[in-house]
Structure 1
Amino acid sequence: MKAGSTSLRFRLLVGTLVWVAATVGIAGWVLQSMFEQQLSRQFDNELSMHLAQLAAHLETDAGGNPVLARPLSDPRLERPYSGLYWQVERMAPDNSGVIALRSRSLWDAQLPVPADRLADGERHTHRVSGPDGEALRMLEQVMQPAEGPDQSWRLIVAADERLLAEPVARFRTLLIGALALLALGLMVAAAFQVVAGLRPLKRLREELSLLRDGRRTTLSEDHPSEIEPVVDELNAVLSRNADFVTRARHQAGNLAHAVKTPLAVMANAAAEADGPFAELVHNQVIAARQQIDRHLALARVAAAAQDKGLRCQVAPVIEGLVRVMQRVHPERSFTFTPGETAREMLFRGEAQDLQEMLGNLLDNAGKWACSQIRIAISADAEQLHLDIDDDGPGIPVDRRAALLQRGQRGDEKVAGAGLGLAIVSELATLYQGQLELLDAPGGGLRARLKLPLAR
């Protein structure tokens, strides 16, 4: 992956997971707020109910003192420090109050009451400290009994806010667990959806890999509708490039034949004449033919190197060349004994190009070997290694790089196959291969030709 680039799968997953996390978090906050508000309203309604019940059960005795006709229904009011309390005060003209009655849950404590003024029937809500220092939510109301309209009683009901906070905390714990499980399920579903959604791209990549390796010439049309336009365009580009290559090769061949005819006429005319001019024309015609052959070979190899579907067996090509070279160089011994694995190896290219490259190397080895030329085949994961060893004088290390460069002349470049070492190197490079000149293990020169291996 290039530096700075980001996987599409990574982008989709991160975007989806962030959105899921944010949505679930907001939903959790909203649900908790709604539950807390509902519980708070229920808490306040319960206080109002207790206050109304206290007012309904409150009566005046013969002495004008408030008494309860019957106890309130909630049993917590009878349990000391239970968290639910009530208190009744007789109001003085200065708005101070004297406790007249209180719930058993207060025991010997009393509820602190803010010094505020209330109209008859008006209610106020306060937050005060309870008997154990706990926070209480208090609801108060002033009422005037019918038996003594000149009197005012302050009715107070209070409850511990922990009765509200504890259910909220339990709900929050359950909600976090449920939402975490929901978020995990959504994230797994999102990951599965992203992987399943991008699977056609993986299949397209595999088909492109097969196309690159020459195991197919076009992409299949069985793709999702979103990818079909891209596949169609790629197939159109491949078809057009194939047409361009074919047309260019035909035009190059036609041009070569058109030029070779006048060159042949000039060569015949020069052969029938004598003198320096005739010799000059003859030499230039030979040079022009060599240039035409060279460029035709390069053009053909350049086109063949783009066609990944070409392949040929290497061993039969070498065996045919060995038979030819034994007739050309009868005084030399050519040895080629491939094993079963080597015999099955395939070159990803045209057999004619392989013949031209190996023919040149074998001819050079035949010219400079003392007696033996050995040919061996091996391969790594991606390339064929064709080693041609001779027992001749070899080539000095400082001259090897120059002999592989275009324009350098030497006896090794007198090509029996019509090509020099520099051209062999260029042809191998066009096939994304390489020609190396090394020392042979037994002395002499090793020409190692590296070419693409067909799978």
Structure 2
Amino acid sequence: MNQGSLRRRFAIGASVAVMLALVAAGFGLTGMFETSVRSRAAQELRSHLRILAANVRVLPGDILILDVEPPDPRFSAPFGGLYWQVGRGTRVELRSRSLWDETIALPPPQGGPAEPRVVEVPGPEGRRLLVVTRRVFIEGSGREPVRLAVGLDERELDVLREGFLEFMVPALAVLGLLLVGALSVFVSYGLRPLDALRDALAAVRAGRTRRVTGEFPAEIRPVVEELNRLVAAREGDLARARGRAGDLAHALKTPLAVLAALGRDVEAAGRAEGAAILEEVERLDRVVARELARARASASAGTGADTRTGHAVAPAAIVERLARTIGRLGGDDAPAVEVAIDPALQVGVDETDLLEMCGNLIDNARKWARSRVRVAVTPAPEPGFVQLRVEDDGPGLPEDGFDPVRGRRLDEGVPGTGFGLAIAKDMAEAYGGTLTLGRSDLGGLQADLILPIAA
């Protein structure tokens, strides 16, 4: 998972968590508000109930009257939303004007006479009422208690709840946006050390530094230390691989030299086996040289998908040094070497491997050129790669489709192992590059070496 994905996962996860928390908070606040409103409404109804209890009395003839009605004007307006009634048993003997000709359908009484109850019952016009009811004994009413009830239309509670929601939902939405923004800033700031670690690793991969360096939080330092140990271990493995390749080459040099000497002695004695021995020794020498070069290049390039691992070399200095060497080796007969290289270009290849690849290509061009060798290094058509082109004005490739990179020599009279192009091809492929051959506009061979650009 890359870091951008990690940041997105954190941001999305945090946003979802914030939204779920706000939704839960919205339900919780709404429930708390409704509980508080209902409690407040029940308290108000109890106040009206106390007024009724204080002002109801029984006249001679067992007639209930109410001296003073509760003062709230809603009791006087028909279906005004606030209602009261007084009665005994199942009879309703007194009621508020707001009830008009209807009554509050109370449930059967429970508990003692003084017990107040809060219930929900159907009311006028089919609306739900929040009702507080109580039974009291009044002088003159005998043993039958008087039942008082005060009810409130729950529509008023619904209006209060809707008003609360109209205020709460936008407030929670704004709060959610602020929290998501704050979390995004926090995630970006919290992952900043990973950005620094990524840049430090890129510097190590590009060869600008040998170790991961920088200021990191305590939580990241153990990772940095382990990465540096890993880099050090890889360097040790690379050094040992190079050492083993060199030891193998040295160990094979003497036996091959002895075999070659024996072959020459046999050939000098006039025996036909001598030429066969020399041919096989030379073939073995070429194979060993190629395999050692391939092993060294693979060890330098690594085995990952991204082969630009810790190297940054400018081809300009190497090509110019090789051009001067050709001039010294060939003397007056050396071909003219034309060099056109952007000095700012760098390839992600080990310097020794680049020297061997360029040396093989340029030396091959020198051997076959009549008078001109041209070397150019430019950005390759494929992004992320550099193209090194070596051309000569020699005979070029034969017309029979022969592939020199397979290691056969075109002319036994030309010195060399015949494996230079094959070695250069193997080494280029070890770094994720290619080597292609074609006809140059100079008339000879054109070799295009494609190598990854330094990261």
Equivalent of 1:81 in 68, 72, 79: 79
Contact in 2 for aligned 1:359/1:417 (Cα 8 Å): no
DSSP 3-state at the match of 2:217: coil
Q: Tell whether 2:323 aligns with 1:322.
A: yes
DSSP 3-state at the match of 1:230: helix
Structure 1, unaligned runs of 5 or more: none
DSSP 3-state at the match of 1:301: helix
1:301 is matched with 297
> Aligned pair in 2 of structure 1 residues 278, 172: CA closer, same or farther (>3 Å)?
same
Contact in 2 for aligned 1:363/1:415 (Cα 8 Å): no
| Cα distance in 1 for residues equivalent to 2:225 and 2:109 | 85
Contact in 1 for aligned 2:106/2:121 (Cα 8 Å): no
Q: Which shifted more, 261-270 or 161-170?
A: 261-270
DSSP 3-state at the match of 2:191: helix
Contact in 1 for aligned 2:335/2:370 (Cα 8 Å): no
1:274 is matched with 269
Q: Which shifted more, 242-251 or 151-160?
A: 151-160
Contact in 1 for aligned 2:408/2:418 (Cα 8 Å): no
Equivalent of 2:91 in 90, 97, 105: 97
2:390 is matched with 388
2:404 is matched with 403
Q: Which shifted more, 52-61 or 7-16?
A: 7-16
DSSP 3-state at the match of 2:207: coil
> Aligned pair in 2 of structure 1 residues 265, 333: CA closer, same or farther (>3 Å)?
closer
Q: CA deviation at 1:332?
A: 6.8
Q: Tell whether 2:209 aligns with 1:207.
A: no
1:116-127 paired onto structure 2 within 5 Å: 116=108, 125=119, 127=121
Q: CA deviation at 1:428?
A: 1.8
Q: CA deviation at 1:241?
A: 2.3
> Aligned pair in 2 of structure 1 residues 203, 414: CA closer, same or farther (>3 Å)?
farther
| Cα distance in 2 for residues equivalent to 1:88 and 1:282 | 130
Q: Tell whether 2:336 aligns with 1:334.
A: yes
1:445 is matched with 445
> Aligned pair in 2 of structure 1 residues 148, 237: CA closer, same or farther (>3 Å)?
closer
Q: CA deviation at 1:448?
A: 0.9
Q: CA deviation at 1:263?
A: 4.4
> Aligned pair in 2 of structure 1 residues 373, 109: CA closer, same or farther (>3 Å)?
same
> Aligned pair in 2 of structure 1 residues 251, 382: CA closer, same or farther (>3 Å)?
same
> Aligned pair in 2 of structure 1 residues 310, 136: CA closer, same or farther (>3 Å)?
closer
| Cα distance in 2 for residues equivalent to 1:351 and 1:158 | 95
Q: CA deviation at 1:397?
A: 7.3
Structure 2, unaligned runs of 5 or more: 303-307
Contact in 1 for aligned 2:92/2:103 (Cα 8 Å): no
Identity across matched positions, percent? 36
2:35 is matched with 37
Q: Tell whether 2:374 aligns with 1:374.
A: yes
Equivalent of 2:226 in 224, 230, 233: 233
2:294 maps to amino acid: L
Moved over 6 A (4+): none
2:364 maps to amino acid: N
Q: TM-score normalised to the size of structure 2? A: 0.80
Contact in 1 for aligned 2:286/2:417 (Cα 8 Å): no
Q: CA deviation at 1:435?
A: 0.9
User: Which whole-Å deviations, capped at 9, do the CAs of 1:206-251 have from their partners, x for residues lacking one?
Assistant: 2222222111111126433333333222222221222232233234
| Cα distance in 1 for residues equivalent to 2:109 and 2:301 | 101
The alignment yields a C-alpha RMSD, in angstroms, of: 3.8
| Number of matched pairs | 442
Q: CA deviation at 1:433?
A: 2.0
Q: CA deviation at 1:447?
A: 1.1
Equivalent of 1:161 in 154, 158, 161: 154
| Cα distance in 1 for residues equivalent to 2:321 and 2:105 | 116
Equivalent of 1:49 in 43, 47, 50: 47
| Cα distance in 1 for residues equivalent to 2:338 and 2:243 | 36
| Cα distance in 1 for residues equivalent to 2:120 and 2:360 | 106
Q: CA deviation at 1:146?
A: 1.2
DSSP 3-state at the match of 2:216: coil
> Aligned pair in 2 of structure 1 residues 378, 72: CA closer, same or farther (>3 Å)?
same
DSSP 3-state at the match of 2:121: strand
Q: CA deviation at 1:308?
A: 4.7
| Cα distance in 1 for residues equivalent to 2:9 and 2:401 | 54
User: Which whole-Å deviations, capped at 9, do the CAs of 1:96-120 have from their partners, x for residues lacking one?
Assistant: 5364x433444x4332445857885
Q: Tell whether 2:20 aligns with 1:22.
A: yes
Contact in 2 for aligned 1:368/1:393 (Cα 8 Å): yes
Equivalent of 2:163 in 170, 176, 201: 170
> Aligned pair in 2 of structure 1 residues 23, 411: CA closer, same or farther (>3 Å)?
same
1:322 maps to amino acid: A
> Aligned pair in 2 of structure 1 residues 147, 415: CA closer, same or farther (>3 Å)?
farther
1:257 is matched with 250
Q: CA deviation at 1:195?
A: 2.7
Q: Which shifted more, 320-329 or 432-441?
A: 320-329
1:361 maps to amino acid: L
1:362 maps to amino acid: I
Q: CA deviation at 1:160?
A: 1.2
1:425 maps to amino acid: K
1:109 is matched with 101
> Aligned pair in 2 of structure 1 residues 316, 38: CA closer, same or farther (>3 Å)?
closer
Q: CA deviation at 1:51?
A: 1.9
User: Which whole-Å deviations, capped at 9, do the CAs of 1:257-292 have from their partners, x for residues lacking one?
Assistant: 344345445555665653325555554554454444
Q: CA deviation at 1:54?
A: 0.7
DSSP 3-state at the match of 2:26: helix
> Aligned pair in 2 of structure 1 residues 241, 155: CA closer, same or farther (>3 Å)?
closer
| Cα distance in 2 for residues equivalent to 1:366 and 1:278 | 31
User: Which whole-Å deviations, capped at 9, do the CAs of 1:321-343 have from their partners, x for residues lacking one?
Assistant: 3344455385574341426xx13
